[in-house]
Chain A
Amino acid sequence: NAGVTQTPKFRVLKTGQSMTLLCAQDMNHEYMYWYRQDPGMGLRLIHYSVGEGTTAKGEVPDGYNVSRLKKQNFLLGLESAAPSQTSVYFCASSYSDRTKETQYFGPGTRLLVL
């Protein structure tokens, strides 16, 4: 039982390049989330998914797209990377959307955009 895993762990991009971050969970969780973490700002929700094939915008969705083709996977895409997207990206999952449900976090992906 690996929990929540993220690929890659670290990536350097040039401005304008694209990439996809992969999140996978093996807990059969329905809900999955992408956050970005910036110094002094905590974690902010980018997009989330309430089930296979459904996604929704969070607090800071601009410049990102997501897809949830399989229940266990949640992909975060950057179509044209910008230096402002330099951040640490965390994926999380939970069993339901009940507010008391614990969210389980992955180890993070550190992204540097030059």
Chain B
Amino acid sequence: AQSVTQPDIHITVSEGASLELRCNYSYGATPYLFWYVQSPGQGLQLLLKYFSGDTLVQGIKGFEAEFKRSQSSFNLRKPSVHWSDAAEYFCAVGAWGNKLVFGAGTILRVKS
């Protein structure tokens, strides 16, 4: 069965510092991978997605993610974090029939 692990429940970074959120997945075939962001009191917004091709994927708001098949990982990165990036981030793998399997989420706090 498909599964997604986000090892870090909380991460705190200083504004302007770089960010990396970890995601590991378990899936038998070529995975479709997604990162979503949820701001407080809001729904989920898609940041980026990977299906095939270039393993470095660019998304909105300056985020990027790198797919590494050998490590079963799809880590999210941003070179310089802004206070408005404080939110909860979810990694997900797309299963058959477009059903998403989500990780538990990582809460990002940004300190000034």
Residues of A with Cβ closer than 8 Å to B? 4, 31, 33, 40-45, 48, 50, 58, 90, 92, 94, 96-103, 105-108
Contacts and interface: CB of A to CB of B under 8 A. Distances in A.
Given A48-B97, A92-B44, A100-B94, 6 more contacts: A42-B105, A99-B95, A99-B98, A100-B49, A105-B36, A108-B43
B43 A106 contact: yes
Interface of B: 4, 6, 9, 32, 36, 41-46, 49, 51, 90, 94-100, 102-105
Contacts, number: 59
Contact of A102 (B43, B49, B104): B49
A103 B43 CA distance: 11
Contact of A42 (B95, B98, B99, B103): B103
A96 B104 contact: no
Nearest to A98: B98
A43 B99 CA distance: 11
Contacts of A105: 36, 43-45
